[in-house]
Amino acid sequence: MVLVLNYMKSDKLAASFNHAVLRPIGKSGMHADFLRIPKVGGIPDLSKYSHVIISGAEASVVEDNPWDAVLEMIVHDTIEQKKSLLGICYGHQFIARAIAGRHCVRKSEIPEIGWADIHISDNHIFKGITAPVSMVSHYDEVCNLTEDFKIIASTPGCPVHGFQYKNLPVWGLQFHPEYNIEEANEIFDLISEEDPLSLNYYSNALVEETQLNQNEQIIVNFLSLSAD
């Protein structure tokens, strides 16, 4: 059973993320519960879940947010209870912050918006993945990780696009393997409305839409391995 913690403030973006991440969850044959933490609040009961996924968010990880204390407890409880944990974008950043401290996240010198070539290393979560291109959308990033973290993905503009914590089933991914081209373009349109300068950051390494077909396998791979 998978618990998806959705930290999107926008109802539209929250629904889009849930729909996107449900595709690989369905492929894995698992069932999922979805919680909108900014609205629900409180610490969920993790006892019936084997896997936890933390979504992206419009919020900045370098700033204080009302749910910080709750989410930090969820991260630590998930690890202590030997659950598998995956953070995507904001979730990736927050896992690093919760484990290693606030000095491990910062504002990006140059934000990444668009489609990026993701350089990956050999890791279970990337099994069967070759030269991935993925949607990226972030103004913050992970930095200054300790030796407990293995960096498993990067781009020229962001050295920590993915990590695994120790040898545990705990991963963070800065990029978005869940989104297809329609969902990503919807987000790009919203970003450009709120930040017209985002067009200066936009890059496009996507040659063919079929390049995205393999990306959902990353989440399927995550779901295939448990701490037990």
Catalytic residue among 51, 92, 161, 176: 176
Catalytic member of 112, 141, 178, 216:
178
Q: Is residue 178 flagged as an active site residue?
A: yes
Half-sphere exposure for 168 (CA within 13 Å, toward CB)? 20
176 among known catalytic residues: yes
Catalytic residue among 89, 92, 104, 216: 89
Q: Which residues are catalytic?
A: 89, 176, 178
